[in-house]
Amino acid sequence: MTAFDYRDGELAAEGVALASIAARHGTPCFVYSRAAIEEAFRTFDHAFAGVPHMVCYAMKANSNLAIVNLLARLGCGFDIVSGGELARAIAAGADPARIVFSGVGKTDAEMARALELGICCFNLESASELEHLNRVAGSLGKRAPISFRVNPDVDPKTHRYISTGLKENKFGIAIGDALSLYRRAAGLPHVAVRGIDMHIGSQITALEPHCEAASKAFELVDRLSAEGIALEHIDLGGGIGIRYRDEETIAPTDYAAAIRALLGERSLKLLFEPGRMLVGNAGVLLTRVLYLKPGAERNFAIVDAAMNDLLRPALYDAWHEVCAVAPRSGPPAVWQIVGPVCESADFLAHDRVLDLAEGDLLAILSAGAYAMAMSSNYNSRPRAAELVVDGKTTHLVRLREAVEELFAHENLLP
Protein backbone atom coordinates (compact mmCIF):
# COMPACT_ATOMS: atom_id res chain seq x y z
CA MET A 1 0.00 0.00 0.00
CA THR A 2 1.20 3.51 -0.82
CA ALA A 3 -0.07 5.82 1.90
CA PHE A 4 1.20 8.96 0.17
CA ASP A 5 0.59 9.30 -3.55
CA TYR A 6 -0.36 11.86 -6.18
CA ARG A 7 -4.02 12.33 -7.00
CA ASP A 8 -5.06 14.79 -9.70
CA GLY A 9 -1.56 16.25 -9.68
CA GLU A 10 -1.34 16.83 -5.90
CA LEU A 11 0.20 14.71 -3.16
CA ALA A 12 -2.35 13.13 -0.81
CA ALA A 13 -2.31 11.11 2.39
CA GLU A 14 -4.74 8.26 1.83
CA GLY A 15 -7.86 10.13 0.65
CA VAL A 16 -6.93 13.61 1.88
CA ALA A 17 -4.98 16.24 -0.08
CA LEU A 18 -1.96 17.41 1.89
CA ALA A 19 -2.55 20.96 0.68
CA SER A 20 -5.91 20.99 2.44
CA ILE A 21 -4.27 19.85 5.68
CA ALA A 22 -1.69 22.62 5.45
CA ALA A 23 -4.36 25.20 4.72
CA ARG A 24 -6.37 24.19 7.78
CA HIS A 25 -3.64 23.36 10.30
CA GLY A 26 -0.64 25.34 9.13
CA THR A 27 2.97 24.28 8.67
CA PRO A 28 5.20 22.71 9.72
CA CYS A 29 3.11 19.72 10.69
CA PHE A 30 3.44 15.95 10.77
CA VAL A 31 0.87 13.85 8.92
CA TYR A 32 0.56 10.11 9.57
CA SER A 33 -1.40 7.40 7.77
CA ARG A 34 -3.44 5.09 10.01
CA ALA A 35 -3.67 2.46 7.26
CA ALA A 36 0.11 2.42 6.79
CA ILE A 37 0.74 1.86 10.51
CA GLU A 38 -1.83 -0.92 10.71
CA GLU A 39 -0.48 -2.62 7.60
CA ALA A 40 3.11 -2.49 8.86
CA PHE A 41 2.14 -4.02 12.21
CA ARG A 42 0.03 -6.78 10.68
CA THR A 43 2.71 -7.67 8.13
CA PHE A 44 5.32 -8.14 10.85
CA ASP A 45 2.95 -9.86 13.29
CA HIS A 46 1.55 -12.28 10.70
CA ALA A 47 5.08 -13.30 9.65
CA PHE A 48 5.34 -15.12 12.99
CA ALA A 49 1.89 -16.72 12.89
CA GLY A 50 1.88 -20.10 14.59
CA VAL A 51 4.83 -19.26 16.86
CA PRO A 52 4.25 -17.87 20.38
CA HIS A 53 5.39 -14.28 20.12
CA MET A 54 4.71 -10.68 21.15
CA VAL A 55 5.46 -7.57 19.13
CA CYS A 56 6.50 -4.72 21.46
CA TYR A 57 6.52 -1.39 19.64
CA ALA A 58 9.61 0.67 20.50
CA MET A 59 7.92 3.85 21.69
CA LYS A 60 11.03 6.00 21.27
CA ALA A 61 10.33 6.03 17.52
CA ASN A 62 7.10 7.99 17.94
CA SER A 63 5.21 8.18 21.22
CA ASN A 64 2.14 10.18 20.22
CA LEU A 65 -0.78 8.88 22.28
CA ALA A 66 -2.97 8.30 19.23
CA ILE A 67 -0.34 6.11 17.58
CA VAL A 68 0.37 4.18 20.78
CA ASN A 69 -3.36 3.68 21.31
CA LEU A 70 -3.84 2.54 17.72
CA LEU A 71 -1.15 -0.12 18.15
CA ALA A 72 -2.54 -1.17 21.55
CA ARG A 73 -5.93 -1.78 19.91
CA LEU A 74 -4.19 -4.10 17.45
CA GLY A 75 -2.84 -6.18 20.35
CA CYS A 76 0.66 -4.75 20.26
CA GLY A 77 2.93 -4.69 23.29
CA PHE A 78 5.41 -1.91 24.01
CA ASP A 79 9.13 -1.46 24.56
CA ILE A 80 9.80 1.55 26.80
CA VAL A 81 13.00 3.24 27.93
CA SER A 82 11.81 5.74 30.54
CA GLY A 83 9.20 6.44 33.18
CA GLY A 84 7.72 9.03 30.84
CA GLU A 85 7.19 6.43 28.14
CA LEU A 86 5.65 4.13 30.74
CA ALA A 87 3.17 6.85 31.71
CA ARG A 88 2.39 7.53 28.05
CA ALA A 89 1.79 3.85 27.34
CA ILE A 90 -0.64 3.55 30.24
CA ALA A 91 -2.41 6.78 29.28
CA ALA A 92 -2.84 5.39 25.76
CA GLY A 93 -4.47 2.18 27.01
CA ALA A 94 -1.52 -0.23 26.94
CA ASP A 95 -1.72 -3.43 28.97
CA PRO A 96 1.13 -3.28 31.55
CA ALA A 97 1.57 -7.04 31.19
CA ARG A 98 2.63 -6.40 27.59
CA ILE A 99 5.33 -3.83 28.40
CA VAL A 100 9.07 -4.49 28.52
CA PHE A 101 11.32 -1.88 30.15
CA SER A 102 14.69 -1.34 28.43
CA GLY A 103 17.33 1.35 28.90
CA VAL A 104 20.66 1.66 30.68
CA GLY A 105 19.66 4.22 33.32
CA LYS A 106 16.39 3.28 35.00
CA THR A 107 15.89 5.15 38.28
CA ASP A 108 14.62 3.53 41.46
CA ALA A 109 11.39 5.53 41.14
CA GLU A 110 10.87 4.27 37.57
CA MET A 111 11.51 0.70 38.69
CA ALA A 112 9.02 1.04 41.54
CA ARG A 113 6.28 2.41 39.30
CA ALA A 114 6.79 -0.36 36.76
CA LEU A 115 6.63 -2.97 39.54
CA GLU A 116 3.43 -1.46 40.90
CA LEU A 117 1.84 -1.66 37.45
CA GLY A 118 2.99 -5.26 36.88
CA ILE A 119 4.95 -4.99 33.63
CA CYS A 120 6.02 -8.02 31.64
CA CYS A 121 9.78 -7.74 32.10
CA PHE A 122 12.74 -5.51 32.94
CA ASN A 123 15.58 -5.73 30.43
CA LEU A 124 18.61 -5.19 32.67
CA GLU A 125 21.86 -3.79 31.32
CA SER A 126 24.38 -4.04 34.19
CA ALA A 127 25.23 -5.93 37.37
CA SER A 128 24.57 -2.77 39.38
CA GLU A 129 21.10 -2.42 37.90
CA LEU A 130 20.33 -5.99 39.00
CA GLU A 131 21.20 -5.12 42.61
CA HIS A 132 19.15 -1.92 42.50
CA LEU A 133 16.08 -3.70 41.14
CA ASN A 134 16.37 -6.52 43.68
CA ARG A 135 16.45 -3.93 46.46
CA VAL A 136 13.54 -1.88 45.07
CA ALA A 137 11.41 -4.98 44.52
CA GLY A 138 12.19 -6.17 48.05
CA SER A 139 11.10 -2.84 49.54
CA LEU A 140 7.73 -3.28 47.80
CA GLY A 141 7.37 -6.93 48.71
CA LYS A 142 7.49 -7.93 45.04
CA ARG A 143 9.52 -10.12 42.71
CA ALA A 144 10.69 -8.42 39.54
CA PRO A 145 10.60 -10.36 36.24
CA ILE A 146 13.93 -9.84 34.46
CA SER A 147 16.02 -10.58 31.46
CA PHE A 148 19.53 -9.37 30.75
CA ARG A 149 20.27 -7.41 27.63
CA VAL A 150 23.29 -9.19 26.25
CA ASN A 151 25.77 -7.41 24.01
CA PRO A 152 26.89 -9.95 21.39
CA ASP A 153 29.62 -7.75 19.80
CA VAL A 154 28.03 -7.94 16.36
CA ASP A 155 28.52 -5.18 13.79
CA PRO A 156 25.06 -4.18 12.49
CA LYS A 157 26.64 -2.20 9.62
CA THR A 158 24.61 0.90 10.33
CA HIS A 159 25.42 4.45 11.42
CA ARG A 160 27.73 4.42 14.44
CA TYR A 161 25.32 6.53 16.50
CA ILE A 162 22.59 3.88 16.18
CA SER A 163 24.83 0.84 16.58
CA THR A 164 24.16 -0.73 19.98
CA GLY A 165 25.56 -4.28 19.84
CA LEU A 166 29.32 -3.73 19.66
CA LYS A 167 31.52 -4.15 22.71
CA GLU A 168 32.43 -0.44 22.68
CA ASN A 169 28.75 0.54 22.98
CA LYS A 170 27.23 1.45 26.34
CA PHE A 171 24.36 -1.00 25.96
CA GLY A 172 23.93 -4.40 27.55
CA ILE A 173 26.33 -6.74 29.29
CA ALA A 174 29.22 -8.49 27.56
CA ILE A 175 28.13 -11.90 26.40
CA GLY A 176 31.11 -13.41 28.22
CA ASP A 177 29.78 -12.05 31.53
CA ALA A 178 26.21 -13.20 31.03
CA LEU A 179 26.45 -16.67 32.55
CA SER A 180 27.79 -15.45 35.89
CA LEU A 181 25.17 -12.69 36.08
CA TYR A 182 22.34 -15.13 35.37
CA ARG A 183 23.69 -17.37 38.15
CA ARG A 184 23.74 -14.36 40.49
CA ALA A 185 20.19 -13.36 39.53
CA ALA A 186 18.87 -16.90 40.01
CA GLY A 187 19.95 -16.73 43.66
CA LEU A 188 18.41 -13.35 44.49
CA PRO A 189 15.14 -13.31 46.43
CA HIS A 190 13.34 -10.45 44.68
CA VAL A 191 13.97 -11.07 41.00
CA ALA A 192 12.66 -13.84 38.75
CA VAL A 193 14.67 -14.76 35.66
CA ARG A 194 12.33 -14.81 32.69
CA GLY A 195 14.36 -14.35 29.53
CA ILE A 196 17.21 -12.92 27.53
CA ASP A 197 17.21 -9.69 25.54
CA MET A 198 19.33 -8.51 22.62
CA HIS A 199 19.22 -5.43 20.40
CA ILE A 200 22.15 -4.58 18.13
CA GLY A 201 21.08 -1.32 16.49
CA SER A 202 18.69 0.53 14.25
CA GLN A 203 18.14 0.88 10.49
CA ILE A 204 19.78 -2.48 9.80
CA THR A 205 19.25 -3.44 6.16
CA ALA A 206 21.03 -6.82 6.04
CA LEU A 207 19.74 -10.07 7.51
CA GLU A 208 23.17 -11.45 8.46
CA PRO A 209 23.82 -9.29 11.57
CA HIS A 210 20.40 -10.22 12.96
CA CYS A 211 21.09 -13.92 12.42
CA GLU A 212 24.60 -13.73 13.89
CA ALA A 213 23.32 -12.01 17.04
CA ALA A 214 20.33 -14.34 17.38
CA SER A 215 22.59 -17.39 17.03
CA LYS A 216 24.71 -16.18 19.93
CA ALA A 217 21.59 -15.56 22.01
CA PHE A 218 20.23 -19.05 21.36
CA GLU A 219 23.61 -20.57 22.28
CA LEU A 220 23.45 -18.73 25.60
CA VAL A 221 19.91 -20.01 26.15
CA ASP A 222 21.19 -23.56 25.77
CA ARG A 223 24.08 -22.98 28.17
CA LEU A 224 21.71 -21.56 30.78
CA SER A 225 19.32 -24.47 30.33
CA ALA A 226 22.19 -26.91 30.91
CA GLU A 227 22.76 -25.20 34.28
CA GLY A 228 19.10 -25.49 35.24
CA ILE A 229 18.21 -21.85 34.45
CA ALA A 230 15.20 -22.23 32.18
CA LEU A 231 14.01 -19.18 30.29
CA GLU A 232 10.48 -18.38 29.14
CA HIS A 233 11.24 -15.95 26.34
CA ILE A 234 13.92 -14.52 24.12
CA ASP A 235 13.67 -10.88 23.06
CA LEU A 236 15.48 -10.31 19.77
CA GLY A 237 14.98 -6.56 19.74
CA GLY A 238 14.20 -4.54 16.64
CA GLY A 239 16.24 -2.55 14.18
CA ILE A 240 14.97 -3.74 10.80
CA GLY A 241 15.54 -0.87 8.40
CA ILE A 242 13.12 0.91 6.11
CA ARG A 243 13.58 2.36 2.65
CA TYR A 244 14.40 6.07 2.82
CA ARG A 245 15.97 6.22 -0.64
CA ASP A 246 17.04 3.09 -2.52
CA GLU A 247 18.07 0.76 0.34
CA GLU A 248 17.56 -2.97 0.01
CA THR A 249 15.57 -3.77 3.14
CA ILE A 250 14.64 -6.96 4.97
CA ALA A 251 11.25 -8.51 4.25
CA PRO A 252 9.49 -9.52 7.50
CA THR A 253 8.76 -12.95 6.00
CA ASP A 254 12.47 -13.53 5.31
CA TYR A 255 13.39 -12.35 8.80
CA ALA A 256 10.73 -14.62 10.33
CA ALA A 257 11.91 -17.64 8.34
CA ALA A 258 15.48 -17.11 9.53
CA ILE A 259 14.48 -16.72 13.18
CA ARG A 260 12.14 -19.71 13.06
CA ALA A 261 15.01 -21.84 11.73
CA LEU A 262 17.31 -20.67 14.53
CA LEU A 263 14.62 -21.24 17.17
CA GLY A 264 14.28 -24.87 16.19
CA GLU A 265 12.51 -27.00 18.79
CA ARG A 266 13.18 -24.68 21.73
CA SER A 267 10.07 -23.86 23.73
CA LEU A 268 10.55 -20.13 23.96
CA LYS A 269 8.21 -17.23 23.36
CA LEU A 270 9.68 -14.72 20.91
CA LEU A 271 9.60 -11.01 21.69
CA PHE A 272 10.43 -8.26 19.19
CA GLU A 273 10.87 -4.50 19.52
CA PRO A 274 10.27 -2.90 16.11
CA GLY A 275 9.86 0.87 16.03
CA ARG A 276 10.96 2.56 12.83
CA MET A 277 9.60 -0.20 10.57
CA LEU A 278 6.10 0.23 12.00
CA VAL A 279 5.83 4.00 11.71
CA GLY A 280 8.77 5.39 9.73
CA ASN A 281 7.21 5.40 6.27
CA ALA A 282 3.75 6.14 7.67
CA GLY A 283 4.49 9.82 8.20
CA VAL A 284 5.53 12.99 6.37
CA LEU A 285 6.63 16.42 7.53
CA LEU A 286 4.78 19.19 5.68
CA THR A 287 6.66 22.45 5.27
CA ARG A 288 6.25 25.63 3.22
CA VAL A 289 8.90 27.50 1.23
CA LEU A 290 9.42 30.91 2.83
CA TYR A 291 12.19 32.32 0.64
CA LEU A 292 14.26 31.31 -2.35
CA LYS A 293 17.87 32.49 -2.16
CA PRO A 294 19.81 31.68 -5.34
CA GLY A 295 23.59 32.00 -5.07
CA ALA A 296 26.77 31.69 -7.06
CA GLU A 297 27.76 28.47 -5.27
CA ARG A 298 24.47 27.12 -3.94
CA ASN A 299 20.75 27.79 -4.13
CA PHE A 300 18.91 27.82 -0.81
CA ALA A 301 15.22 27.12 -0.33
CA ILE A 302 14.42 28.39 3.15
CA VAL A 303 11.40 26.57 4.58
CA ASP A 304 9.42 26.93 7.81
CA ALA A 305 10.49 23.51 9.17
CA ALA A 306 13.93 23.18 10.72
CA MET A 307 16.37 20.92 12.51
CA ASN A 308 14.30 21.31 15.68
CA ASP A 309 11.43 19.58 13.81
CA LEU A 310 13.53 16.94 12.03
CA LEU A 311 16.94 16.39 13.59
CA ARG A 312 17.98 13.28 11.68
CA PRO A 313 19.70 15.03 8.73
CA ALA A 314 21.82 17.19 11.06
CA LEU A 315 22.50 14.38 13.54
CA TYR A 316 23.09 11.44 11.19
CA ASP A 317 23.41 13.15 7.80
CA ALA A 318 20.25 11.18 7.08
CA TRP A 319 18.58 11.27 3.66
CA HIS A 320 14.83 12.00 3.37
CA GLU A 321 13.05 12.25 0.06
CA VAL A 322 11.58 15.71 -0.61
CA CYS A 323 8.49 15.98 -2.81
CA ALA A 324 6.61 19.01 -4.05
CA VAL A 325 2.99 18.71 -2.93
CA ALA A 326 1.89 20.32 -6.21
CA PRO A 327 4.77 19.83 -8.67
CA ARG A 328 5.50 22.57 -11.18
CA SER A 329 6.35 21.95 -14.82
CA GLY A 330 9.07 24.59 -15.27
CA PRO A 331 12.83 24.07 -15.42
CA PRO A 332 14.20 22.68 -12.13
CA ALA A 333 17.23 23.83 -10.16
CA VAL A 334 19.41 22.23 -7.52
CA TRP A 335 18.31 23.41 -4.06
CA GLN A 336 19.55 23.09 -0.50
CA ILE A 337 16.42 22.70 1.67
CA VAL A 338 17.21 24.59 4.89
CA GLY A 339 15.35 25.97 7.88
CA PRO A 340 15.31 29.23 9.86
CA VAL A 341 17.38 27.98 12.81
CA CYS A 342 20.68 29.79 13.39
CA GLU A 343 22.96 26.81 12.74
CA SER A 344 24.75 25.76 9.57
CA ALA A 345 23.64 22.23 10.47
CA ASP A 346 20.03 23.33 10.01
CA PHE A 347 19.27 21.51 6.78
CA LEU A 348 16.59 19.01 5.82
CA ALA A 349 18.05 17.98 2.46
CA HIS A 350 21.01 18.74 0.22
CA ASP A 351 21.15 19.01 -3.56
CA ARG A 352 17.54 18.34 -4.49
CA VAL A 353 16.42 18.96 -8.06
CA LEU A 354 13.10 20.77 -7.88
CA ASP A 355 11.14 23.51 -9.62
CA LEU A 356 10.24 25.76 -6.69
CA ALA A 357 8.50 29.05 -5.98
CA GLU A 358 8.04 30.88 -2.71
CA GLY A 359 4.92 29.63 -0.95
CA ASP A 360 5.17 26.10 -2.34
CA LEU A 361 4.43 23.16 -0.04
CA LEU A 362 6.99 20.40 0.35
CA ALA A 363 6.57 16.97 1.92
CA ILE A 364 9.59 15.46 3.70
CA LEU A 365 8.92 11.73 3.45
CA SER A 366 9.67 8.90 5.89
CA ALA A 367 9.21 11.24 8.87
CA GLY A 368 7.06 8.97 11.01
CA ALA A 369 9.95 7.78 13.19
CA TYR A 370 12.54 9.76 15.16
CA ALA A 371 11.18 13.09 13.93
CA MET A 372 8.56 14.49 16.29
CA ALA A 373 9.97 12.24 19.02
CA MET A 374 13.35 14.00 18.76
CA SER A 375 12.01 17.50 18.14
CA SER A 376 12.85 20.42 20.41
CA ASN A 377 12.14 24.06 21.09
CA TYR A 378 15.56 25.28 20.00
CA ASN A 379 15.45 28.98 19.03
CA SER A 380 12.18 29.12 21.02
CA ARG A 381 10.32 27.45 18.17
CA PRO A 382 7.00 25.80 19.07
CA ARG A 383 6.78 22.13 18.21
CA ALA A 384 4.64 21.18 15.25
CA ALA A 385 1.09 19.88 15.11
CA GLU A 386 0.49 16.17 14.44
CA LEU A 387 -2.37 14.69 12.44
CA VAL A 388 -3.53 11.19 11.55
CA VAL A 389 -5.38 10.55 8.30
CA ASP A 390 -7.90 7.72 8.33
CA GLY A 391 -9.30 7.27 4.85
CA LYS A 392 -10.92 10.61 4.02
CA THR A 393 -10.92 11.87 7.60
CA THR A 394 -8.17 13.88 9.31
CA HIS A 395 -7.72 13.84 13.09
CA LEU A 396 -5.66 16.44 14.94
CA VAL A 397 -3.78 14.35 17.51
CA ARG A 398 -1.43 17.01 18.84
CA LEU A 399 -2.02 20.76 18.92
CA ARG A 400 0.72 23.05 17.71
CA GLU A 401 2.44 24.58 20.73
CA ALA A 402 1.86 28.25 21.47
CA VAL A 403 4.88 30.44 22.02
CA GLU A 404 3.60 31.36 25.49
CA GLU A 405 3.68 27.69 26.50
CA LEU A 406 7.43 27.59 25.94
CA PHE A 407 8.15 29.80 28.96
CA ALA A 408 5.04 29.15 31.05
CA HIS A 409 7.09 27.27 33.67
CA GLU A 410 9.86 29.85 33.92
CA ASN A 411 10.14 32.63 36.51
CA LEU A 412 11.91 35.98 36.69
CA LEU A 413 14.37 36.64 39.46
CA PRO A 414 13.05 38.82 42.29
Catalytic sites, residue numbers: 342
Q: Quick check: 124 and 235 in contact, CB under 8 A?
A: no
Distances (CA, A) of 239 to 86, 123, 210, 231, 399: 21, 17, 9, 23, 30
Establish whether the linkage from the previous residue to 28 is cis, with ω within 30° of 0: yes
Rg (CA), the chain: 23
Distances (CA, A) of 272 to 165, 166, 291: 16, 19, 45
Q: Quick check: 102 and 199 in contact, CB under 8 A?
A: yes
CA-wise closest residue to 201 among 170, 245, 246, 243: 170
Give the Cα separation of 88 and 373 in Å (integer): 13
At residue 206's C-alpha, the angle toward residues 204 and 212, to 5°, is: 95
Q: Quick check: 156 and 199 in contact, CB under 8 A?
A: no
Q: Quick check: 231 and 224 in contact, CB under 8 A?
A: yes
What residue spans of 99-167 are helical by DSSP H?
Answer: 108-117, 127-139
Residues 6+ apart with CB under 8 A from 208: none
SS3 5: strand
HSE (side-chain half, CA atoms, 13 Å) at 365: 19
